[in-house]
Amino acid sequence: MVDKLFGTTPILSKNGPVNPVEATNGFKLIGIYFSMHNCPPCRTFTPVFAELYNELNQDKAQVIEVIFCSGDKTQEEYDEYYGEMPWLALPKGDSRLATLAKQFEVKGVPRLIVIKADGTVVE
């Protein structure tokens, strides 16, 4: 499913560019997290979600991998905000963002889409 959503063009990890399919392989759930630096509800939710992410994935459990999809206006805002997150991200200004936002009918942020390994969207 990740290949259909993200293709094989690299996304970002904390260690540099990675293939999205390889980076999410083996995880039970994939989160697509639409958020932005200048959104107060996002700034409240992100640290709570990051704590849960770390807890679920402790001891290399591979429960959930998340891909951040930024609505930030500037590279500086993006870099600062992504710096607070432990997961993967689309690069700032990546063309896949608009396609994903349209596909999942994202009308506002924060918005978290969770997908099972088989491609089923968790409602």
Give me the domains of the chain, ranges plus CATH numbers: 2-106 (3.40.30.10)
Instruction: Report the distance separating Cα 48 and Cα 43, nearest Å.
Output: 9
Q: What phi and psi, each to the nearest 5 degrees, are found at residue 20?
A: -60, -35
State residue 47's pLDDT score.
98
State residue 53's pLDDT score.
97
Q: pLDDT tens digit string along 64-99?
A: 999 999 999 999 999 999 999 999 999 999 999 999
Instruction: Report the distance separating Cα 58 and Cα 36, nearest Å.
Output: 26
What number is the average pLDDT over the span 42-61?
96
pLDDT at residue 123 is higher than 90: no
Widest CA span of the chain, in angstroms?
A: 36
Instruction: Report the distance separating Cα 74 and Cα 37, nearest Å.
Output: 10
